[in-house]
Structure 1
Amino acid sequence: MDYNYGGCPLSKAKRRKIVVDTNVILFDSQAILRFGEADVHIPISVIEEVDKFKRDQGENGRNARQFSRFIDVLRSKGSLASGVQIDNSETMVYINTDLMLAGMPSELDHQKADNRILNTALALQKQHPRYKVELITKDINLRIKADVYGVVANDYDANDINRDDLYEGYQEIMVSPEQIDAFYREKRFITDVKLYGNQYVIMKDAGNPNHSAIGRYSLADKAIVPLMQAADSIWGIHARNVEQAFALDCLLNDEIMFVSLVGKAGTGKTLMAIAAGLHKTLDQGQFQRLLVSRPIFPMGRDIGYLPGDIEQKLNPWMQPIFDNVEFLMGADKKAAGRAQELINQGMLNIEPLTYIRGRSIPKQYLIVDEAQNLTPHEIKTIVTRAGRGTKVVLTGDVYQIDNPYVDSANSGLTYAVERFKGHPIAAHVTLTKGERSELAELAANIL
């Protein structure tokens, strides 16, 4: 039998050869497990770059250390230069040194790690023409350069979701006028239309679009049921459009323990979530505390270290949340004092997500603002902190992402929306109509 480089028979030459960039590993430390039947090649330049991140305290450092430990386990099983097979997998892992590769094109800077990674793909393509060689990188410019040199290059994410195809959380269906009347009368409507659990429904009269009804599909009842109606406004907040009515319904429903709200700036995501949390915590006593948190990512250039103790350092980051709380408390100078009083009493807690790992959070209304800046792993870390009786609410705008390692397709918020879709204790609403002000709505649409 004829063998090629790495000891794989040519009969398997249709296997892919994957060259992995550093940013893929920093995004997902387990990325090399996601390629199935393939030969995964890791250039020595990637190992060098990963080493620079191993002391980072954030997500990049954690992924760098986890990847290095995994590769060290493989190293104990054989020569990485010759290829080591991952247990219970068809994947072979190789570490490629620059000495093993053909010469780099003269116009590329040999000192640049990206170019050496591209050269690995070029060399493999020349050495193994019967293989499909593919460069996986989240670096757009590297993908462009790869295309110029005839190398197939793709972005990485095992769970990429087109934001245009993102689950909206509601659906419009056409029904007869008699069915709408019956829904108002009987408080339920059974339909043949395929709906997800807790998906919201706009039922419209086919002959008169102004004759309509809204509801939520209940898995328990196997029917569309009416929304929860608050007796009065919630801390001065009431729904101004149908999407906000959907959002308030899932925020106030005790049977729904996970809520995700996605929408552009000014649609009321955070304000409604905090209002509902205050109502369920202070007015109804359903939860012991309202906990509001957000990741710390600056918009634009960071201003550097901040003076003072931890509370003073966090004030600029948490100010958007304080603004919403004070707005709900009242439009007077005493609002800030009332908010601080709730904090002193332990009923309201506003904190960063930095120290959430390892915690258990029972019987709390947990709001995670700006969740679009989180990775799927970070979302998992946060949601798995929820103890008994805790409700988790994620809010964010996938069009405003400040984390350089996340985009709208692989944001943890997008990932959570799709993964929780249809589960009986989860609901999602996409908000599109801005209600902050006429100027804010115009800016969100045209800028």
Structure 2
Amino acid sequence: MARRKTKEKKIYVLDTNILLHEPFAFLNFQEHDVVIPMTVLEELDHIKDRNKDVSRDARVAIRALEDVLKDASPDQMLQGVALPRSGEQKPGGHLFIINDHHITDEIPGLPGGENDHLIINTALYLQRERSPLKVILVTKDINMRLKAKGAGLKLVEDYRTDQLIDDVRFLYKGYYKFPGDFWSQVGECRSENEGRETFHYVNRSVLPNAYINEYLIDEVEGFAGKVTAITDKEIRILDFGYERLMHRHAWGIHPKNIYQAMAMQALLDPHMDLVILTGPAGCGKTLIALAAALELVIEKGMYDKVIVTRNTPEIAESIGFLPGTEEEKMAPWLAAITDSLEVLHKTDEHPHASVNYIMEKANIQFKSVNFMRGRSIQNAIVILDECQNLSAAQLKTIITRCGEGTKLICSGNLSQIDSNYLTAVTSGLTYIVERFKNFEGSTTINLNGVVRSRLASFAEANL
């Protein structure tokens, strides 16, 4: 590898799981050099033919690497192939492919032929040969990071390019609660009536960190509103009225707390293309989303159908082993939806017949995330349940499927992540909450509080 002149340049060695997590990750290291050990290419080659969702990411990563390296000669690959910066024309760092199988004989690295050890040994070799440049191993495998440090590697990191916050406690909640009384905080303000709506114009200094469509409430339960416009000097707030907001309902469901009320208002608002619901198990995310969907499709006729989807366990595992059609295969994973339908119609004379009738009337379709790629969904409500287990790239794939007149409802609980490679701060759910908080067509609500039962509430707080 040719030695670079600049001392600021760093060398990043990527583990296989980085390219599976984000196939284009090697383009995101700005002006720094990126090293892909041969062992990583071999692992991608083995994974690409598996009947799993992750194999698709392996194929995308291989094609992305090939696009950069296809015109390079062997000598150029040894010297490094220039990488274009993502979204920019000017070049970034350089991409290297290193044959790491001989390195074990040259350094006192980790023993054996395990793939993780070969990748760690590559980083150790570069750390010795390219000193004083910083060599950083990037992997999402916690145990691999521990082994690398124990073997003497100075710098080991998780992949943080898609990590927008450092602590999930700072995640945007979608609302701001004023201490005490709202009006005592605001003081004098200008108010205007537009038809049946009342708007207040308050000084920007009252809420300097406000976001569009952010809900505003207070501790005395006397005010409820939403930020509808932001300028350099003032904020325009739509006044809902606390009691009026609490009395909204959808498909016979009334909110049990102010958080459900805010969520219901966002779900029923035709101007909101994306509604993100976060919160603990039992806070009512799925039930409210489904009730609002039925209200909009059947009662108001604003949409043609309801599409319900979620990732199947273990990173969108294939559903092929289950018998029947796609919808029959998805039924076990979407039992939460059918449970919610039964709750909505439990007082009917024939609940089972009512559920079947409503599913047909609302044209409710169960779809697998695996089959959402390539589709263009028009004039529908899409409910994406349990999306905390999806990566940012997977969520982008689904969101970009939504065409004209489609409303997307994403819900999830960041404390129930099943993926081996995702945490609360790297989940796709966290990513879209932060990315869309300035988008005028989206709303985020954190449903604070468990309403399922006192048992569920105690378990959420103490287990």
TM-score by length of structure 2 reads 0.86
Structure 1 position 31 matched with structure 2 position 25: yes
Offset at residue 99 of structure 1 (A): 5.1
Cα offset for 1:132? Answer: 0.4
Matching residue within 392, 413, 416 for 1:397: 413
Counterpart in 1 of 2:381? 365
Give the Å deviation of 1:346: 5.5
After the TM superposition, which residues 70-89 of structure 1 pair with which residues of structure 2 at under 5 Å, given as runs?
Answer: 70-73=64-67, 74-79=69-74, 80-87=77-84, 88-89=90-91
Distance 1:424 1:170 in 2: 15
| Cross-structure match for 1:166 | 171
SS across alignment from 2:443: strand
Q: Could you tell me how far apart the structure 2 residues matched to 1:7 and 1:13 are?
A: 14
Q: 2:214 aligns with which of 188, 199, 208?
A: 199
Identify unmatched segments of 5+ residues in structure 1.
1-5, 204-208
SS in 2 for 1:98: coil
CA deviation after TM superposition for structure 1 residue 57, in Å: 4.7
In 1, distance between residues paired with 2:247 and 2:142?
Answer: 52
After TM superposition, the structure 1 = structure 2 runs for residues 247-266 of structure 1, keeping only pairs within 5 Å, are 247-266=263-282
Alignment correspondent of 1:206: none
Instruction: For 1:60-79, list aligned pairs within 5 A.
Output: 60-73=54-67, 74-79=69-74
Cα root mean square deviation, aligned: 2.8
- Give the distance between the partners of 2:266 and 2:248, measured in 1 at CA: 17
- Selected match of 2:236 from 207, 212, 223: 223
Deviations 1:159-204 (A, max 9, x none): 213312211111123544496898999633222223110001124x
TM-score after normalising by structure 1: 0.89
State whether residues 376 and 415 of structure 1, in contact with CA within 8 Å, keep that contact through their aligned partners in structure 2.
yes
* Letter of the 2:18 counterpart: V
Query: Who is 1:190 aligned against?
Result: 201
The reply to whether residue 349 of structure 1 matches residue 365 of structure 2 is yes
Residue 51 of structure 1 deviates from its aligned partner by 0.6
Q: Is the contact between residue 104 and residue 118 of structure 2 (CA under 8 Å) also seen in structure 1? A: no
For 1:210, give the aligned amino acid: V
Deviations 1:270-325 (A, max 9, x none): 100001111111111111112222111169x9999334444443221121111111
Among 12, 17, 31, the alignment partner of 1:18 is 12
Q: Percent identity?
A: 33
Structure 1 counterpart of 2:321, one-letter code: Y
Change (3 A) 1:326 1:359: same
- 3-state SS of 1:427 partner: strand
1:91 aligns with 2:93: yes
**C-alpha separation in 1, matches of 2:189 and 2:451:** 32
Structure 2: runs of 5+ lacking an equivalent: 85-89
Question: What is the alpha-carbon distance in structure 2 between the residues aligned to residue 20 and residue 354 of structure 1?
Answer: 26
The CA deviation at 1:350 is: 2.5
Distance apart, 1:244 and its partner CA: 1.1
Helix, strand or coil at the partner of 1:443: helix
Deviation at 1:109? 3.7
Residues 108-123 of structure 1 correspond to what in structure 2 (within 5 A)?
A: 108-123=110-125
Deviation at 1:105, TM superposition (A): 6.8
Q: Which residue of 1 aligns with 2:87?
A: none
Structural mapping, 1:128-143, within 5 Å: 128-143=130-145
The secondary structure found in structure 2 opposite 1:188 is strand
Q: Would you say how many aligned residue pairs link Structure 1 and Structure 2?
A: 435
Amino acid at match of 2:438: G
Say if 1:342 and 1:99 are closer, same or farther in 2 by CA, change over 3 A: closer
